[in-house]
Structure 1
């Protein structure tokens, strides 16, 4: 049986997220687990005795587990621009693929919070008429987010004008 590439037709060209989002999420994970480990160790040391302060080290297992999971989640995010729609794919255990037709887009936003700006990141948020079909692409470079916003807006206007 032939696949799409063997038959001469190619599938969508997927684009992954840059590494800044992974760095930000791992930094936040390390900060929170470090804080929890310190608080747990201090409380256990004060109320149960100095030997129990080592219980705070259990949070290091959570840090290691979260570190791996964040990497897998980050690698699962990708998007592809096709002729008539935008594909967004994400998820490790439960794979989710969102298809947003250009003609159905009502609003394309680029947002960036304080931590995202510090790491040079932005998020593209797509709004459609159906509330459940809103989609987003997090962790993009601001220039790429603005390029994508402008392209999607132009394609959305062209497609909706043809309706």
Structure 2
């Protein structure tokens, strides 16, 4: 019979699971539509070019390229939906956690004291769906994090809270 371990079970992955104290906030599901429209514009142009090229030349290799582009569009549509659902952020006492990614999962932990400034941006498509992106900037370019797909009121609240916490934490440095 084995003895119980004095050390609690270690997480299976460094990215998950998180303690019960971390409450992940999802991004808006409307971000799915923004990303799918961006995909449709890009792939629509590619498919139109390939379709015209195939119609003009009749070359079978252009037709294969067209079929591959259609397959890629379907696959990218599925992964776009899953990728948006993987985004999340959590506010803790001393830092902000931002997670995203499917194949390569990324977890950014940004201490409030290290933040230099916080941007809120919204492009034309985001504004059409009433969304904004919060971008955090630190001294190290690699540690910048962003949280897309937030309603403007939540983006403003998060910006103001992060700015206030960053000022308070930076005073002690």
Q: Which category describes the TM-score, using the shorter chain as reference length?
A: 0.7 to 0.9
How many Å separate the matches in 1 of 2:130 and 2:88?
18
The separation in 1 between residues aligned to 2:45 and 2:121, in whole angstroms, is 28
Alignment-derived partner of residue 172 in structure 2: 162
> What's the RMSD between the two structures over aligned residues?
2.3
1:31 deviates by 2.9
TM-score, reference length from structure 2: 0.81
Contact kept, 8 Å, 1:109 with 1:149, in 2: the verdict is yes
TM-aligned CA deviation for residue 159 of structure 1? 1.1
Structure 1 partner of 2:87: 77
Structure 1, unpaired ranges of 5+: none
Shift of 1:101: 0.8
2:105 to 95, 113, 124: 95
Cα distance, 1:134–1:45 mapped onto 2, change above 3 Å: same
**Partner residue in 2 for 1:104:** 114
Tell me, in whole angstroms, the C-alpha distance in 2 between the residues paired with 1:11 and 1:41.
53
| CA–CA separation in structure 2 for the residues paired with 1:35 and 1:52 | 18
SS of 2:104 mapped into structure 1: coil
Contact kept in structure 2, 1:42 and 1:53, CA below 8 Å: no
Please name the residue that 2:5 is paired with.
none
Q: TM-score, normalised by structure 1?
A: 0.85
Partner residue of 2:29? 19
Structure 2: distance between partners of 1:10 and 1:27: 36
Instruction: Assess, with a 3 A threshold, how the Cα gap between structure 1 residues 46 and 150 changes in structure 2: closer, same or farther.
Output: same
Equivalent positions of 1:1-163 (< 5 A) are: 10-48=20-58, 56-163=66-173
Distance 1:86 1:52 in 2: 49
The equivalent residue for 2:15 is none
Evaluate the alpha carbon distance shift between residue 58 and residue 131 of structure 1 in structure 2; reply closer, same or farther with a 3 A threshold: closer
Count of residues paired in the alignment? 158
Which structure has the highest helix share of the two? 1
